[in-house]
């Protein structure tokens, strides 16, 4: 059966997350329903990352199998037509071999967390950034975050309901930068624990406001204790920004590992 890879952007606000659940609409189900309306086939859509309720995506990746071949532009446009007014867009579609798996073939996942560091309320970025009205020292946050890079036990920054077999992960990169009133935390790793990025950002906010001293991120990491984590940042500031694959499965906009 032909296999297709799609790259998707979505506003996570109205969804209970990527994955199908009984308590509300999901991105996965929206895509599966659009695919059924287009092709007449009932087929599962597998995503690269199971984003939580309220989390957005610039470039989520998914795959599915169909019984016949489709022109990829027609597949993309047809899915978008059937998605209607839902805040989900298929950016591109590619035919891939049957060994490709959106989740298990991924080499690295990139996330961005957006903090609107301003006192006025948000008009355009409401539910798309975390408004922090007190000043943040982005340089202190950047310096403190570097203690997290590498292979560590991330128990402190792991949700209590996380189902991962081990709390040990390798964080390849993290950066905190300011762009006017917007502070962005960018990070990537092969995989993340449940709520890991939001837990890290919430703790970095404590450093940025001066509530934590600069070395406290390292101390929290070494504590391997969830109680050492700062308040978890809200979901609506988080974006799945990119997923990297091997060069031979890269799409035309450069999703390959770099």
Point out the residues that are catalytic: 52
Contact 138, 178 (CB under 8 A): yes
From residue 181, give the alpha-carbon distance in Å to each of 68, 165, 177, 200, 233: 49, 39, 11, 20, 18
150 burial type by CB count under 10 A (0-12 exposed, 13-18 middle, 19+ buried): exposed
Contact 141, 176 (CB under 8 A): yes
Q: Which long-range contacts (CB under 8 A, 24 or more apart) does 216-224 make?
A: 216/144, 217/144, 217/145, 217/147, 217/148, 218/144, 218/147, 220/156, 220/157, 221/147, 221/148, 221/152, 221/154, 221/156, 221/157, 223/156, 224/153, 224/155, 224/156, 224/167
> In the structure encoding, which two tokens stand for residue 247, read together?
């060069």
Report DSSP letters for 191-227, one per residue. Answer: ---TTHHHHHHHHHHHHHTTSS-TTHHHHHHHHT-GG
Tokens 């298990």 label which residue? 104
3-state secondary structure of 247: helix
């Amino acid at each position: 059966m032909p296999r297709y890879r799609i790259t998707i952007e979505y506003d996570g606000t109205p969804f209970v997350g990527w994955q199908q659940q009984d308590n509300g609409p999901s991105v996965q189900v929206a895509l599966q329903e659009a695919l059924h309306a287009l092709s007449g086939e009932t087929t599962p859509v597998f995503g690269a990352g199971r984003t939580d309720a309220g989390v957005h995506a610039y470039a989520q990746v998914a795959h599915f199998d169909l019984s016949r071949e489709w022109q990829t532009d027609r597949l993309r446009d047809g899915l978008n037509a059937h998605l209607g007014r839902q805040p989900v867009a298929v950016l591109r579609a590619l035919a891939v071999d049957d060994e490709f798996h959106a989740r298990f073939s991924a080499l690295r996942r990139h996330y961005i967390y957006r903090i609107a560091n301003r006192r006025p309320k948000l008009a355009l970025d409401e539910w798309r950034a975390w408004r922090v009205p007190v000043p943040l020292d982005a340089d202190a946050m950047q310096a403190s975050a570097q203690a997290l890079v590498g292979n560590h036990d991330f128990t402190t920054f792991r949700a209590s309901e996380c189902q991962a077999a081990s709390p040990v992960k390798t964080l390849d990169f993290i950066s905190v930068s300011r762009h006017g009133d917007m502070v962005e935390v960018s990070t990537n790793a092969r995989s993340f624990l449940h709520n890991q990025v939001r837990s890290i950002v919430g703790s970095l906010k404590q450093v940025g406001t001066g509530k934590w001293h600069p070395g406290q991120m390292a101390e929290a990491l070494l504590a391997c204790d969830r109680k050492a984590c700062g308040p978890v940042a809200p979901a609506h500031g988080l974006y799945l920004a990119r997923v990297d694959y091997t060069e031979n499965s890269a799409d035309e906009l450069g999703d390959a590992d770099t």
